[in-house]
């Protein structure tokens, strides 16, 4: 049985494996993961800091060359990377390739670092005085990433951090860690100097060591809200810059004028894709007015057509969930529903298969105060909530403690515009169920979906991974020498 290594200072580093890594489609243990000692953590941070001292001085063209080469290698190795993701996560090959493509978008954005790091210049702000600004790197960045996107989220963080001159320590999920090591190898092949990008395997204890380590300057995190809150609190207490993206409860509002076939298709795609293990998955369909019965019937009919199977089977629409423990938790919302919920489709029968499978589940009559509504289920469970009016739908979304993503389906442009302005949510789709922004914008939610002020990737990512300097310059003549104890004047 293979042991998944660390990737430190440009080489793989083997260590005794302790944590099991599963193939979710079979339930078999396919590898073991090392848990690093404090000494190993110190060595990784030291390697990253030493490499940063050189990388921070690298030219923007050198950084761009590395990122362009990385993009080429990611495209060239897409099939290999997708197969590796599927073997440990369980998502379909097509979904894994889509994840790689969305990660590539931010690599491409980061290739424009020369434009993104432009400063400003003001000439003659006072007699003989000029002012200019520029941005520099922070130092060593810890990137702590979730299991559900084992290469996309690391690319969201890493490309921006490297472009701005930082060194990176990636702590991937212990559920699907192998593709991170392969990413490290590809970065080295792309010309990145040793130590600038490192992969440190481990668990929650490893995360806490990074949060508290004096050699780490900033932390990027994506995961559940309780952990995001912990990461933010601990890391900021230790003087670090932090962006911590948490959980979600994403609503899809369907107005009475919407095309219900299109809305039902969207609900299926956004609710069951990747077995619902997406922070931007639609988990609640909000049916407005008297359309609920028809909409539920259309969703149920489509759910019956979905094929659930191994991710490497091209006929599968979605694969297993990540672990057996998670499967049991997800099924509890269906097998023991809250009073008042109608179980329209029960996917629990698939749990008898080998592997961690759940069929598509559909719940109707879900409302605030019920577990199925209040919790982030993170599985192939789609809930339907019925409200009377558009105003009720907006109030429902705004009362929710999460504010990651939401969508509205309608043919009324004015209603869509009002919705975009009235909901307290960071990312909004109009007839788009999963509104993940393109890389020239930034990704992130509001309320309990984000701790820290900065969203991830795009312009806010560049800003997060860099800090500004302002330089005021004057070149006086010797004849202008004088003593003046007054406050500096601009005129």
Active site residues: 279
- Distance from C-alpha of 168 to C-alpha of 195, rounded to nearest angstrom: 8
Sheet containing strand 19-23, edge to edge, reads 2-3, 28-33, 19-23
- Distance from C-alpha of 210 to C-alpha of 40, rounded to nearest angstrom: 11
Phi then psi for residue 42, to 5 deg, are: -60, -40
DSSP 173-221: -SSS-HHHHHHHHHHHHTTPPTTSEEE----HHHHHHHHH-TT--EEEE
- Distance from C-alpha of 35 to C-alpha of 276, rounded to nearest angstrom: 29
- Distance from C-alpha of 179 to C-alpha of 185, rounded to nearest angstrom: 10
Cα 433 to Cα 22, 92, 100, 283: the distances in Å are 31, 20, 20, 11
Beta-carbon contacts of residue 445 (< 8 Å; ≥ 6 apart): 245, 246, 248, 402, 403, 404, 405, 425, 426, 427
Phi then psi for residue 342, to 5 deg, are: -100, 125
- Distance from C-alpha of 167 to C-alpha of 232, rounded to nearest angstrom: 20
- Distance from C-alpha of 482 to C-alpha of 288, rounded to nearest angstrom: 75
3-state secondary structure of 144: strand
- Distance from C-alpha of 379 to C-alpha of 282, rounded to nearest angstrom: 11
- Distance from C-alpha of 462 to C-alpha of 466, rounded to nearest angstrom: 6
Which residue, 244, 287, 286, is CA-closest to 453? 244
- Distance from C-alpha of 457 to C-alpha of 153, rounded to nearest angstrom: 9
- Distance from C-alpha of 277 to C-alpha of 273, rounded to nearest angstrom: 8
């Amino acid at each position: 049985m293979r042991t998944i290594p660390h990737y430190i200072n440009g080489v793989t580093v083997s260590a005794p494996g302790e944590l099991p890594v599963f193939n979710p489609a079979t339930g078999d243990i396919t590898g073991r993961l090392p848990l690093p000692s404090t000494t190993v953590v110190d060595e990784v941070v030291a390697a990253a800091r030493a490499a940063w001292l050189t990388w921070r001085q690298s030219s923007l063209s050198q950084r761009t060359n590395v990122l362009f080469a990385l993009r080429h290698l990611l495209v060239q190795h897409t099939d290999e990377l997708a197969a590796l993701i599927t073997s440990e996560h369980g998502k379909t090959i097509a979904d894994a390739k889509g994840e790689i493509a969305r990660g590539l978008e931010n690599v491409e954005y980061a290739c424009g670092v020369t434009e993104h790091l432009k400063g400003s210049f003001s000439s003659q702000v006072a007699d003989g005085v000029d002012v200019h600004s520029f941005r520099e790197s922070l130092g060593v960045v810890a990137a702590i990433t979730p299991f559900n996107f084992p290469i996309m989220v690391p690319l969201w963080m890493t490309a921006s951090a490297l472009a701005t001159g930082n060194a990176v320590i990636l702590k991937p999920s212990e559920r699907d860690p192998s593709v991170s090591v392969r990413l490290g190898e590809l970065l080295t092949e792309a010309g990145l100097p040793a130590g600038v990008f490192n992969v440190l395997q481990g668990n929650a204890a490893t995360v806490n060591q990074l949060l508290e380590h004096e050699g780490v300057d900033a932390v990027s995190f994506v995961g559940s809200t309780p952990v995001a809150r912990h990461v933010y609190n601990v890391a900021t207490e230790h003087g670090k810059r932090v962006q911590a993206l948490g959980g979600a409860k994403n609503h899809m509002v369907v107005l009475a004028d919407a095309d219900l076939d299109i809305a039902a298709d969207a609900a299926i795609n956004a609710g069951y894709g990747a077995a619902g293990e997406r922070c931007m998955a639609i988990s609640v369909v909000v049916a407005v007015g008297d359309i609920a019965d028809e909409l539920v019937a259309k969703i149920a009919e489509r759910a019956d057509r979905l094929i659930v199977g191994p991710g490497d089977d091209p006929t599968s629409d979605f694969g297993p969930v990540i672990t057996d423990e998670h499967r049991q938790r997800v099924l509890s919302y269906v097998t023991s529903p809250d009073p008042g919920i109608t179980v329209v489709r029960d996917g629990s029968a698939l749990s008898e298969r080998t592997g961690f499978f759940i069929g598509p589940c559909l719940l109707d009559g879900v409302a605030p105060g019920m577990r199925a509504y209040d919790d982030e289920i993170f599985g192939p469970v789609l809930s339907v909530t019925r409200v009377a009016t558009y105003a009720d739908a907006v109030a429902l979304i705004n009362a929710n403690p999460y504010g990651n993503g939401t969508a509205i389906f309608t043919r009324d442009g004015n209603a869509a515009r009002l919705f975009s302005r009235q909901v307290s949510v960071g990312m909004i789709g109009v007839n788009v169920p999963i509104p993940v922004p393109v890389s020239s914008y930034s990704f992130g939610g509001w309320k309990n979906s984000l701790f820290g002020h900065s969203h991830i990737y795009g312009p806010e990512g560049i800003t997060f991974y860099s800090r500004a300097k302002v330089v005021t310059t004057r070149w006086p003549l010797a004849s202008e020498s004088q003593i003046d104890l007054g406050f500096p004047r601009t005129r």
